[in-house]
Structure 1
Amino acid sequence: MGFELDLCSPIRLRNGQRVVGDEEVRGRRTRLALAYLVLERGRAVPTHELAAVLWSEGPPPSWPSSVREVISRVRRVLDRLGGEASIVTKDRCLCVTLPADTSVDVEQLVDGRDHAGAGMTTSDGTPGRRFLPGEVGPWVEGWRARIEEAHRNLVTADGRAALERGDAAAAVGMGRLMLQQDPDDDAAADLLMRGLAALGHRAEALRTYERHRRRLADELGIDPSPVLQALHLELLGAGAHVPSTSRTQPPPGRSGPAPVVAAPTDLVLDAEAVATALGIDSCLPLLGRAGVLRRVSEALEEGHPVVVTGESRSGKTRLLAELMADERMSTSYVRCGLHGTTRVDVAGRARTTVHGAGPRTWLVDDVQWIDDRTHQLVLDAVRSGVRVVATACRDEPTRVLTDFLGELHRSATVRTVELEPISADVMASIVPACGDADHRAQALHLSGGNVGYLIDLLREPGDPHGPPPESIRTIASSRIDRLPEDAKRLLDVAAVAGDSFLLSQVAPAAGQCAPDDWYPPADALVDHGLLRVVDPAEGLLAFRHPVVRRVVLHEIGPLMAHRHRARLDATNAPPTIHLDRQRVSNGRPTAVS
């Protein structure tokens, strides 16, 4: 049996009885390089091309040595796998050699060879394992688009099969699921309408068509497909016959790389679609934020733009979801920093909202990543009387954010609301039935007052001394990768030192011997929300979220942790006094000069 490589998270590589798990592929760039070289095997990949994929924002000046380090880690992974797996380097190019019968999960799915979905779907048909979660860039997004298209084809095929075997209820469920994932999908509307008609719910099938037609007309200015229009006319007739779906949908298969269009932002006019797209559970209570929500609502009533700031996963997007659920408000949602495929003229839709009779409140999420076009559109909206609530992540400091907030303050009187960490009492109120008391206490401590981390820790308790949940590892690793190198070194040693530490003891062990060298990397770690200052006079720092310390320890591994511990011990050991001669005075040895 050949190699079996699962590149969707969690990564799993198998060669017969030999298995390499996700925990053995250390570092996000190692995973990304492994995936790229495997999926691009069969050709020589220039090292500068791999560098452009590993650093989508632009390779660092020292990228050649950094790429060599990443490749050495990929080689070690393939060595553990054994067999014929190898990386050949020649003329500054790389090529992965694998057995001819190697199977790769994502290739099987997009080629239509794996009709079980390569483990990419859950029991309810929703997308399951994700391809390189947390990564961005044209190559990653292109593969994700192909995987999503293959997933839609898979669900469509299952829905057609359900109709053919007479299971109309299953077809209805799949049609609704597809419309949730892509509300503009004619094929999903077609499947849902046929399933409803087969169940005898002809009126609901007609209402589904009308909602779909209006959505396409209002947001895209187009009509449904001719096949869907024909189905609608047939359903309008007495005793309408629902035709087979086989002539409306192509069989699942590889359709080539999906086009990747730069889409820095996306404007969504449907609150339900936003909640589905972002994975927001609108039933989850807005814990500890009632006062914040009240201040935001009061500022909006007074006509002031509002900026809500807080650390990552502190509940900013959940707050916006609460505003969207308020039926008294007519809202639009703008998500900054998205990249991928798009079929929507975002700018055109936004101008329609500003100048037409569209929603009068804009909820703009993650403005630290706002692009120039959306920057100007939001300012135009404020000047046109549109109410705006913007969220900004305070541990993602960017020049873009500074420029945007400066212009927003010059355009209007802005109200700023800070989301502080949730208190232990409030957080404890949501976990009375989750695990035993010790587990709850540990989760509360590790989360450091962050609701998102707390929920992840409760959902995946795991080993207290093992790797933290993958969702937390992905977020923390992404933030750490953006740090300067000296800050990364300081963070590695700090993780070995403990949840809290003295800068004067840790910085020298990280190679920053002069006191003037201690503070820039420490300031960078505080600015990025990884550390907090406990006592500035003493130089006492602590991890803002102790679970991030576990992420760092998992990434550096036990051998490097032991090395850092030895440096800490050596740097902070008390000085040794060497006595050349001694004499005894009152029974005690005394040094003689």
Structure 2
Amino acid sequence: MEAKIELMGLMAVRCAGIVYHLHGAQARVAFARLALAGPEGVTRHELADVIWPGALPPTWASALRTLISRLRAFVGPLQSHPVNPLVKRGGRYVLALDGNVLIDVEEAMRAVTDARGALDAGDFATADRLAAAAADRLRFPFLSEHEGHWVAERRERLTEYLVTALEVAGQAAMRSGDHPRAALLAEEATTRGPERESAHRCLMAVREAMGNRGEALRAYQRLRRHLAEEFGVDPSPETEAAYLALLGPASAPAVPSGGAGGYRHRPVPFVGREQQMTTVAGAWSWATRGRRQFVLVTGEAGIGKTRLLREAGAAVAADGGLVLVGRCDEGAMVPYQPIVEALDGYVAASPDDPLDAVSPAARGPLRMLLPSLGGPCPSGELPEQPVVFAAFAQLLTVAAGERPCALLIDDVHWADPQTVALLRYLLRAGADTRLCVVVAARNDLPTSIRRRVRGCMDEVMLPLEHTGEGTEVTLGGLDFAAARMLAAELGTAAGTADGDPVRWAHARSGGNPYMLLEVLRHQAGPDAVPPAVARLVAAKLASIGQDATRLLQVAAVMGPSFGFDTVADAANLDVLAALDALEALLEIGILAEVTAAGSQHPDRAAVYEFRHDIVRQSVDQQVSDARRRHLTSRQQVVPGAGHDTEHRLSRTGAERV
């Protein structure tokens, strides 16, 4: 006979289609204590302490005997045989139930554990179903009319299970693409467990996956404020790392596991940047001793600048430092965007009013600029620049006065001149503060933007470089050993014609981590270009101009390496226009000039090649059939084209003879 005990909500026993209710608060708490004790049972004093959590009444022993008699009558229908399940063994009361009697609390707890296992295994549908069912049961109150230590402890444990169930269901829903439902579940988890950091991390991930980075940041700020107010502590390094992850590009919506999707959800290890991290760590060490530092991180798109900033921020947080994060967006509407974002996050997460520590003259401008204080106001209404700069400097000094501070700014190549001027002012004003500023900028942008960025960064860097307080870190492609380590930790098992998928992916990507990962994930053939890489290349081509695009298309059709005269003629460009186009492509890092060490022909014309072979393939695939036929016919009539192998180099840079 199957029976079920329901302890959550209105306590009941369901047996053979009949529902039995137990009346009386004392009887219900005693029954719950016995049901959850299992085969170990409880002593009469343990049971009495639960029933009468204060002082025991003088007649408690006889009252307990009467209560036990009532419970024996209540649980009688649970057994198919005549022996009553409520027995006394070795001085302990035991509710000896058959194996087919289920208890809702225990079922829900097992379901949460199983749901977590299903989520870890990538079975999102099962995880969602189990966690949602458990949450539905655990939302009911537990012995709401009773108090006492045992009841309070049990409620706290059940709440933890409920929050876990909501987290698991939220993560499963997010990874299945149901973001609105995932957000509702994660919000409920943070409401029921405001100090539960994993719940807040779940909410941050959902909001970021929905493309609402602002709400994700606010979820972090609410957690940080709550922890500071209630416990006087900071978020854990894991939560700080999740916060720093918001610095990066917006995430694509989660996809179910299996194939490339399951691989995509695996955390990407951080490899091959030991030297660069040592440089940043050295700058941070000097900053903690009161010597301001500035670190400029440069590299092409996808090379790992954002990840380096994120890892640096995680290291700072683990060291007890304060991490402030901002980013620059192209054409940003908010004045001084990255500094506003960074300091607003500090203000929003501070349990006290940070403006109490700044001068009255600085409070007005800060209220006009920081969203947490009522800003931002229209730029035309802002005070004069010196007033704004001084206000920001005061607030940053306050922040760095609490503990050493790292200000991380991503995509600084989009910074407007006013933001660069503010950054320069903050570094000058913070000469004696425990401040380390780390910014990241692309070096593969069109010439006009690149020169502007370089000029702005030189304005910031040069005075600090002279005093040993400024450092530039340039990121190149990962070497093969790092690529091998990356693939091994991710467990990639793609196969290729030569049997070495990592070497093949590394050769195609040139060690660019973004392209390398996409090649490893996208296993559709040796010449297939992952869609994400194709979009990245298309964005680059959109900024290089018509002549450069024509030259690049000719080069892609010709092959990995080529001579200048050949492609210029085939593209039907005059020499000066072709040179301008070639220089633009070299400056943004799509092409590279190849030289052969120890060449026996010093007068031989230079040879050029694509820096990343997958970029060449992407450009080649964007060439229409009509244009390809035209370029092929042009190549055949250009003198020496297509058969001047003495002018070509192998992909390793050695001369072909």
Structure 2 partner of 1:500: 561
Please identify, of 545-554 and 280-289, the stretch whose mean Cα deviation from structure 2 is larger: 280-289
The residue that corresponds to 1:139 in the other structure is: none
Contact 1:509/1:571, CA 8 A, preserved across alignment:
yes
Show the counterpart of 1:301. 285
- For 2:308 and 2:553, locate their aligned partners in 1 and report how far apart those are by CA, in whole Å: 34
Determine the C-alpha separation between the residues in 1 that align with 2:298 and 2:199.
41
1:572 aligns to what? Answer: 639
Amino acid at match of 1:295: T
Match of 1:461 in 2: 523
| 389, 411, 416: which one aligns with 1:371 | 416
Q: Please say if residues 160 and 191 of structure 1, whose CA atoms lie closer than 8 Å, have aligned partners that are also in contact.
A: no
Query: How far 1:535 sits from its partner (Å)?
Result: 3.1
Residue type at the aligned position of 2:582: A
Q: Counterpart in 2 of 1:402? A: 454
Q: In the alignment, which of 392, 405, 419 is matched to residue 441 of structure 2?
A: 392
One-letter amino acid of the counterpart of residue 478, structure 1: A
Q: Give the partner amino acid of 2:307.
A: R
1:222-266 deviation per Cα after TM superposition (whole angstroms, max 9, x unaligned): 999xxxxxxx9xxxxxxxxxxxxxxxxxxxxxxxxxxxxxxxxxx
Question: Do the aligned residues in 2 keep the contact of 1:365 with 1:390 (CA within 8 Å)?
Answer: yes
Written as runs of structure 1 = structure 2, the 5 A alignment for 1:120-519 is: 170-173=165-168, 190-193=187-190, 270-275=240-245, 278=248, 284-302=268-286, 303=291, 304-326=293-315, 327-328=318-319, 329-337=321-329, 346=341, 349=344, 351=392, 354-357=396-399, 360-383=405-428, 384=430, 385=433, 386-397=435-446, 398=449, 399-413=451-465, 414-432=470-488, 433-436=492-495, 437-466=499-528, 468-512=529-573, 514-519=574-579
For residues 551 and 505 of structure 2, what CA distance do their matches in structure 1 show?
25
Which amino acid is 1:382 matched to? L
Task: Report the alpha carbon displacement of residue 219 of structure 1 after superposing the two structures with TM.
Answer: 5.5
* 1:548 is the counterpart of 2:548: no
Matches of 1:563 and 1:429, distance apart in 2: 44
Q: Quick check: 1:379–1:411 contact (8 Å CA) kept in 2?
A: no
The 1-side partners of 2:417 and 2:504 are apart by 43
Equivalenced residue count is 368
Aligned CA distance change for structure 1 residues 195 and 177 (closer, same or farther; 3 Å): farther
Conserved 8 A contact 2:132-2:169: no
Give TM-score scaled by structure 1 length: 0.53
Q: CA shift at 1:544, angstroms?
A: 0.4
Query: What one-letter code is carried by the residue in structure 2 that aligns with 1:405?
Result: M
1:321-343 CA-to-partner distances (Å, cap 9, x unmatched) read: 21112111332222222679999
Distance 2:198 2:297 in 1: 42
* More helix per residue: 2
The question of whether the paired residues in 2 share the 8 Å contact of 1:311 and 1:529 is answered with yes
Contact kept in structure 2, 1:282 and 1:322, CA below 8 Å: no
Q: 1:153-176: per-residue Cα shift (whole Å, max 9, x none)?
A: xx9xxx999965879555333557
Structure 1 residues without counterparts, runs of 5 or longer: 1-121, 126-154, 197-201, 225-231, 233-268, 575-593
User: Cα deviations across residues 324-377 of structure 1 (Å, max 9, x unaligned)?
Assistant: 121113322222226799999637627375132256111222211113453244
* CA–CA separation in structure 2 for the residues paired with 1:207 and 1:518: 57
Instruction: Give the structure-2-normalised TM-score.
Output: 0.48
Q: Per-residue deviation at 1:395?
A: 0.6
Amino acid at match of 2:414: W
Residue pair 2:244, 2:314 contacting (<8 A) in 1 also: no
1:521 is matched with: 581
Structure 1 CA distance, aligned partners of 2:323 and 2:410? 13
Provide the aligned C-alpha RMSD in A: 4.6
Q: Match of 1:568, SS?
A: helix
Is the Cα contact below 8 Å between 2:200 and 2:219 reproduced in 1?
Answer: no
Instruction: Return closer, same or farther for 1:335/1:320 CA change in 2, 3 Å cut-off.
Output: same
Judge which range, 300-309 or 311-320, deviates more. 300-309
Partner amino acid, structure 2, of 1:426: A
Residue 205 of structure 1 deviates from its aligned partner by 10
Q: Given the superposition, is the C-alpha separation of residues 462 and 195 from structure 1 closer, same or farther in structure 2, using an over 3 Å criterion?
A: farther
Q: 2:377 corresponds to which residue? A: none
CA distance in 1, matches of 2:243, 2:504: 35
- Rounded Cα–Cα distance in structure 2 between residues aligned with 1:452 and 1:442: 15
Q: Which amino acid aligns with 2:323?
A: T
Q: Specify the SS of the correspondent of 1:395.
A: coil
Where structure 2 has 5 or more consecutive residues not aligned to the other structure, the ranges are 1-121, 140-161, 205-214, 231-238, 252-264, 347-391, 597-603, 642-657
Q: CA deviation at 1:549?
A: 0.8
Match of 1:530 in 2: 590
- The alpha-carbon distance between structure 1 residues 216 and 454, as it changes in their structure 2 partners (threshold 3 A), is closer
CA distance, structure 1, for counterparts of residue 473 and residue 531 of structure 2: 31
Letter aligned with residue 537 of structure 2: A
Distance, in Å, in 1 between the alignment partners of 2:195 and 2:284 is 40
Q: Percent identity?
A: 24
Letter in structure 2 aligned against 1:299: A
CA contact (8 A) 2:197 2:223 kept: no
Report the alpha carbon displacement of residue 510 of structure 1 after superposing the two structures with TM.
Answer: 0.5
Secondary structure of 1:556's counterpart equals: coil
Report the alpha carbon displacement of residue 509 of structure 1 after superposing the two structures with TM.
0.7
Cα drift, residue 533 of structure 1: 0.7
